[in-house]
Each structure stands twice: as C-alpha cells, then as structure tokens.
Chains A and B, each alone.
Chain A
Amino acid sequence: MLKMFSDVDINRPYYDVVFSGSLDLIKGFVIGFIEGNELEGEAIFSDEHHADDEGKFGQLLRLIAVKDKTVRVIICCRFHELISQALEKRKDEIPIAIQSVKKIKGASFGFRYKTFSEEHGEKLKNVFGNLPKGLTMESGYSPEEILNPKAKGIEAYAPLHHYELRARGRVSGLIRSVIDFYGQVEHNSLVELEPIKLEYE
C-alpha cells in the first residue's frame, strides 16, 4: 500500500480504478508513476484492500486464461487521470489499460465471530463495540452471550462450553477507515470476514 501523505486524510476522494494487465506490472507502473512525479496520493492494490469479490471460481477462470486479468486499485486522489493520459501515450509499449473508474462513496464488510473464551469475548466485544472514527455498525449487530454454569470444567464425552459468544454484523464507513479496520481484525482467527463491498457515487 503506497501512501504519499504524511497523514492520510480519510475524507479525501477515493476512486475504484480497474486496470487490465498483470498485478506486478500495474503495481510497478503505478508506484513508479507516483514516485517519479512526486505526486501526493495513495494507491491500494488488490492484494491489500480485500475489495475483490472474484471468488475461487473467478480465480480459476483467470488461472486458465478464460477470464482477462484485471486489477482493482483504490486510488486517492484523481491521479488516475494522469496515469490514463500516460498509458494512452504508450499504449503500444505497455500492456496495461484502464477499464473503468468509479468514485467511491463508502465501503462496508460483513463479519461474524464466535468464541468460547471469556477473555477473547471481551476483546471482540470491545473491538466491534468501539469502532474507530469514520466507521459505523449497521443495524442488526447484537452479540449473543450464553452462560452455562453447569458446563464449567473439562468434559470428554459430553462437551459443552460454559461461555459462548457469537455475533454477526456489518461495518460501513469511509473506504480508508474500512480498509484499516479490516486489516486490524483480519488476523483474528475467531473472526470471519466477507470481502469489502464498495459503494459508488
């Protein structure tokens, strides 16, 4: 993830730019372009932003060359227009093209978690109950906590947990905040995350 701001302003406009071409080539070209022109901006590539909803089938189709290689890059702020002009000039030399550009209004992702540990349960409730600035929890999030005092201790043939916490919900907000929060919770093996869904203007 290339950030060219000293302090990223989450309110800046972000664009969903779909390139055709290979990820490595696009990544090298875009980063080189930003660095070479000393542009103020940010580019988040598909291996970092979790906004691709291609799925396994799509990956398979791309692998067997049935589907074109496309790379979704989330870009701030408008320098894709400069990239587009540069690519236009050198379209015979560089096998990259911009397929679409859409201005992003916001983003969201669904999640669910389940734990049988009170310690982890408190942490999860805290993480999803106190969302960072720029994020909101969509309605319907209500962690369900079940306590079974009878089930305290070790069991072998009749296992039942004395504590159980499960919840599902959807976090939405500004794209930058959503991506940051996603990166924060994705390492927690107790949380299952859906891909980030972009909303356009």
Chain B
Amino acid sequence: MVFFFAKAKTVIVKAIHHRCGWLPVFLIAAIVLIFQAGVPIPALCAPLHGADSIHDVGDKLSLLWVIPFVGILLSISLGPLLLPRFWHSHFGKVSFFWAFLFALPFWYYYRDTAVYHILHIYLLDYFPFIILLWGLFTISGGILIKGSIKGTPLVNTIMLTIGTILASWVGTTGAAMVMIRPILRANHNREKKVHLMVFFIFLVANIGGALTPLGDPPLFLGFLHNVPFFWVTTALFPHMLFMVIFLLAVFYIMDTYYYRKEKDRLKKIGPLKQEPLRVEGIHNLFLLAGVVGMVLMSGNWKPGNFDVFGIHVQYQNLLRDVAIVSLGLISLATTSKGIREANEFGWFPIMEVAKLFAGIFVTIIPCLEILKAGADGALRPLIEVVRNPAHYFWVTGTLSAFLDNAPTYLTFFNLSLGKLGMTEAMIPAALAAGTVTANPQFISFLTAISAGAVFMGATTYIGNAPNFMVKSIAEESGINMPTFFGFLFKYSIPILCPGFVVLTLIFF
C-alpha cells in the first residue's frame, strides 16, 4: 500500500517536472475511479486476479465503470457549446483523459481481459471505422461541383434530393462537403436561407445516410458486427422514403413561401450570375465505387483469419482496409490541389474523429460488456424498460440526438443482443427475413435502433458529426444559424418530431 502511493507520487512529480501537465490529472482521476468502483484498498496491492473468462466480465462490472463513457459523450456534446476555444485546442487530451480514466483501473483490475478487450475493440472496430471514414472523406473531398444555378424552390428541392441520395454512398460528411457550396452559391442572393441549411442538416447530413453502412457511422459499426451490407438498404428504405418525402414536401412549401415574399427584392437585385453546373474530380466517383466494392467484398468473402494476441483478424477485413487506404492515397495523388482547396479540404475533421473515437471505443467497453450480460448485468433496468421496437426507436433516437449516434447505436445494438440472448455470429441468420432462422423480434429491434440512430441524429447540432460542420460553413457564408436551442425548438421539434411520431405509428 505504502509502496503503491510512493510510486504514484514519484510518477506524478516526474510528470510535473517534465511539463506533462495532464498526466497527473489522469492518474489521480484513475485512482479515484478505482476507489469509486468499490475496489478495496488492499486489493490494489494484492496479487492480480486470475485471467477472467473474456465473456463473463459484463456481469461483474458495476455501473461506475460506465462513468468515463458517459463523461466522454457529455464532453463531446457540451464542450463545443460551453467551452468552444478550450475544446478546439484540447479535445484530444479530454478524450485521452476519459480513456485513461477507464483503461488504467480496468487493466489494473482485469489485466489480460482488459488488454484483450481494448485490443479487440481497436483492431476490429476502431481501425476499420477510422479507415473507412478517412477513405470516404479523402475521396469525396476530391469531388467538386462547380457553377451556379438560380436557387428557386424547385432547384433547391432537387439539390437536397441529390444530396440525400449521395449521402448513402459517400457518407453524410462527404455528401455534406460536396453539396453545401453549390447550394450556398445558388442561393447567394436569397435573404432567408436558414431553413435551407436546416433541411440540409436533416436530409443530407443525416437521414440520407440510412441506406448503406457507408452512409452513417452507426450503420458501419453494425456492418462490422455482422449486419449484412444490404440489410439496411431493404430494412430502412420505407422508413427513409417516408421521412424524405415528408421533409422535402415541408421544405418545398416553406421555401416557396419565403421565395415569394422576397421575389420583388430579388428582381431589384437582378439575376444571379449563372454558370452551368459541372463536376470536377469525377474519377473519384470510381474510387468511391472501389470503396463500396471492398466493403461489399469483406461482407461476403470468408477466406479465414489470423490471430493478433488472441484476436481473430479476418483476412478479408485486412484486405478491405488496405484497399481503402490505397484508394484514398490514389485520390490524393490524382486530384488537383485546386479541387481540394475549393472544398476547403483539410485533415482536421478526420483528426477529430480519430482522437475522439479512440476514447469512445475504449470507454464503451464496459457498457457493451454489461449490456451483453443481459439481465445478469448492471443495466438490467434499462433492458426491462426498453421492450418494443417503438421504445428502441425513441430511446436510441433521443440519446443519439444529444450524444453521438455511433456509440449510441452500438450500445442499443448490444442491448438487443443481450435481451434476446443472441451472439454476433447469429446475426446474419437472424436478419434473413423469410427463412427459418429469421428472428422477427431482432429484425424489428434492429430496424428501430438503426432508424432512431440515423434519423434522430438530425435533431440537434451534436447528434451527428456533419451537423456542426454544416452550421460552421453556413455561418462563415454569412448565414445567421440558430443557436443550439433555437435549432431544437424552432426546427427540430416542430418539423422532425411530428414526422417521427407518424413514422412510429406506421412502422413500429
């Protein structure tokens, strides 16, 4: 005991001496968590626990282990709103702080099991996730739509529709990056543009990504956990179609109203300089097709696996990731600098994702393990409360709106598995509708979880990564975007929520 504290003190003093200001904070916080987690002080100095079975950790973990996960999600939600300058400079350190706060006690207490879980989630979830996002971001950042047309209600509706369709194939971030500037240019002379950006966030930055695992990060996480590539395409198509038609109709009515109100002013200003639309960097579309092909391949071809510290890494997944990186590098090498500059392409967004999700994926481990334990885990009350697809839709959705939708999806994905006593290996068979192995209950749960995570990510600026990006670009173009609560109360609740209620009544 004395030895432990003496050692800790030495490390802290050394860290301060070497100007590693954050390290002592991590250490202290980790020690606090060890005590909070109910570890008796002698246990800290006692011999390490024997290697627990990697599958039965969930039923042993208390809810205190979930604090870092909640902490990192709340930091991501509140940091940009409350402390934007601090957050912009230090989000990586905050992510590391929460990861460390969980990982250190977890490793101390569970040793091999902890190493296994952390390596497992990094190798099988984090790296493929980051590589896919990097690939889609890099390649779609090489596509530039030039020219400008007059932003009439019809033209705007068509452009939103194109963006919505594109989102499922290049990802919501990629589609937002490609489409936002043509829409802003087309509406340069318009006075009322806030509604246009709001519907852009609803459709292009969120709901449009519902049809493939490439569209929205939660769905790719589902794909990494054995959900077949085209399952979301068929399962979510009716839900997405309903929401898209509903939102486009509302948008068209609103845009027509504002357009008519300012028609006289627009006539006085004179016509916008129009240039025919043209796409530059079109070869990147073929590279995107390559990414789609590689992801599809990894879902269908099963050549076997190799072990990394006891973790089975599938050959096809390794091939997919290497191919995506190659396609991204080809895009970087073959796309002109001018295109990337016009798109304001930079590495910051992907760095943000990499740093923050490095923390999310570590801190989510106890949450996933507890949920996998089902009724034997500490989240039993949640499992009992969330019973039917409507519950899954609204609970996943509401949490996705205020926390990031990718970890929220993964949490409820595991909740449904735990509730039904299923393993990930059983998923493809369970989702094969119309076959004897199909599990209609799981199908309805997963449909609701997927729809909730993707659709309700649109409800706030913090629900999905591109939301803030669109807000930021719009503001830098001179649009007075609503505040966090303005967006929620003036647009999301009055427009999106009625759609979600009808969606629930029809489909769930």
Contact = CB atoms under 8 A, between A and B. Distances in A.
Nearest to B345: A154
Contacts of A155: 88, 348-349, 352, 468-469, 472
A114 B91 CA distance: 26
A148 B177 CA distance: 22
Among A153, A159, A161, chain B packs the most CB atoms within 10 A around the CB of: A159
A153 B348 contact: yes
Interface string B342-366: 0011101100110010000000000
A90 interface: no
A69 interface: no
Nearest to A113: B480
Interface in B442-499: 465-466, 468-469, 471-473, 475-480
Given A153-B344, A155-B348, A155-B349, A160 B84 contact: yes
Interface in B71-92: 76, 79-80, 84-85, 87-89, 91
B475 A157 contact: no
A11 B465 CA distance: 56
Interface string A137-165: 00000000000101101111111110100
Given A151-B88, A187-B265, A189-B194, A157 B356 contact: yes
A116 interface: yes
Given A117-B478, A161-B475, A189-B479, A154 B349 contact: yes
Given A155-B468, A156-B173, A160-B88, A189 B480 contact: yes
A142 B194 CA distance: 27
B9 interface: no
Nearest to B95: A157
Contacts of B173: 156
A88 to B, nearest CB: 40
Nearest to A187: B191
Interface in A104-119: 114-117, 119
B468 A159 contact: yes
A156 B346 CA distance: 12
Contacts of B346: 153-154
Interface of A is mostly: loop
Nearest to A153: B346
Contacts of B91: 157-158
Interface residues of A, number: 22
B473 A154 contact: yes
A115 to B, nearest CB: 6
A120 interface: yes
A157 B177 contact: no
B197 to A, nearest CB: 12
B88 A150 contact: yes
A190 B468 CA distance: 19
B55 interface: no
B192 interface: yes
Contacts of B85: 148, 160
Among A117, A120, A151, A158, chain B packs the most CB atoms within 10 A around the CB of: A158
B468 A157 contact: yes
B473 to A, nearest CB: 7
B80 A159 contact: yes
A16 B353 CA distance: 60
Given A155-B352, A156-B349, A115 B344 contact: no
A154 B344 contact: yes
Interface in A142-201: 148, 150-151, 153-161, 163, 187, 189-190
Contacts of A114: 480
Given A115-B478, A116-B475, A154 B177 contact: yes
Given A154-B469, A157-B80, A119 B478 contact: yes
B88 A117 contact: no
Interface in B248-302: 265
Interface in B1-43: none
Interface in A121-150: 148, 150
Nearest to B472: A159
Nearest to A117: B478
Q: Which 3 A-B pairs have the closest CB atoms?
A: A120-B478, A160-B88, A156-B465
Given A150-B88, A157-B356, A158-B91, 13 more contacts: A115-B475, A117-B477, A153-B346, A154-B345, A154-B348, A154-B472, A155-B348, A156-B465, A156-B468, A157-B76, A161-B476, A187-B265, A189-B193
21 contacts: A115-B475, A115-B478, A116-B475, A120-B478, A148-B85, A150-B89, A154-B344, A155-B88, A155-B349, A155-B468, A156-B352, A156-B353, A157-B349, A157-B352, A157-B468, A158-B87, A158-B91, A160-B85, A160-B87, A187-B265, A189-B479
Interface of A: 114-117, 119-120, 148, 150-151, 153-161, 163, 187, 189-190
Interface of B: 76, 79-80, 84-85, 87-89, 91, 173, 177, 191-194, 265, 344-346, 348-349, 352-353, 356, 465-466, 468-469, 471-473, 475-480
